[in-house]
Amino acid sequence: MARDILPLVRKALEGRYVVEREIGRGGAARVFKAQTPEGKAVALKILHPQLAASVTADRFLREIKVVAQLVHPGVAQLRDWGEDEWLLWYVMDFVEGPNLRHHLDRAKRTSVTDALHIANDLLGALAAAHAIGVVHRDVKPENILLSEPGAVLVDFGIAKAVAEAGGERLTKSGFAVGTSLYMSPEQIAGDNDIDPRSDLYSLACVVYECLAGRPPFDDPFEELVLTKHRTAPVPNVLQFRPETPAAFAKLLHRALEKSRDQRWPSAADMQEAVLAIARA
């Protein structure tokens, strides 16, 4: 059973945040709902201790500072960060609403209209991030919140910050940057020059799952999932969701090309195509 670190978190952040309760756990961090002294709700994220021990704190905090420049309705904005009582933490806007993983676990898939809305919202967020040189690297349903105004992407830049601050110690800790079901072929290959088109591939995997009720490449054995991303042809989403507009299926297929040079050149270009489908 995971250790209850709530008392330690409250003590470390006393006077800075009122920490209410733990609300989630991800691959990199445990998430707590907290309040600022002014009463504003925020999401406080504490890096898992074993992961924090594998990164250089100063470098991690330096890496995530650039993300604070990212302001967009589809992004949970980074507000604060620090190290206290051996805890590495960062604070983002609190977004009311379930994450997409919880929704898909319950409903299995979304309507075609909702899939288009989710794609549009997140492509707008990615376009804004890519414009300032930030690649998410871990676009997946767990990092997508379904708020009333629209879909919101969280944890921008965190995967890169962890990777850059970890080095060889991170490799030994077993932490993987990205999630196998949504990783681009170049991430799987361990390329050092991950660019925005990797995010487009990962988002296409997510939207494909929204429509089909399953990701494009799935298998009980993770190694086979990784191999399929690199070598297997993409199953046409129409075989799982025949009512999907043909143009939408074609758009996803292009985003899921093995070679990034054959994908959409940018999030803005892909978003423009999504909007054209929504208007049709």
Residues acting as catalytic residues: 138
Nearest to 57 by CA among 27, 89, 17: 89
- Range list of H helices, 34-180: 49-52, 57-65, 100-107, 112-131, 158-173
Residue bearing tokens 């299995």 = 108
Residue 72 has a CB neighbour count (10 Å cut-off) of 18
Residue 277: helix, strand or coil by DSSP? helix
- Range list of H helices, the chain: 6-12, 49-52, 57-65, 100-107, 112-131, 158-173, 185-188, 196-212, 222-231, 246-255, 267-279
Distance between CA atoms of residues 29 and 205, nearest Å? 23
Residue 37 has a CB neighbour count (10 Å cut-off) of 9
Please name the amino acid found at residue 116.
L
Nearest to 12 by CA among 88, 92, 63: 88
- CA 236 to chain centroid, in Å, comes to 24
Length of the chain: 280
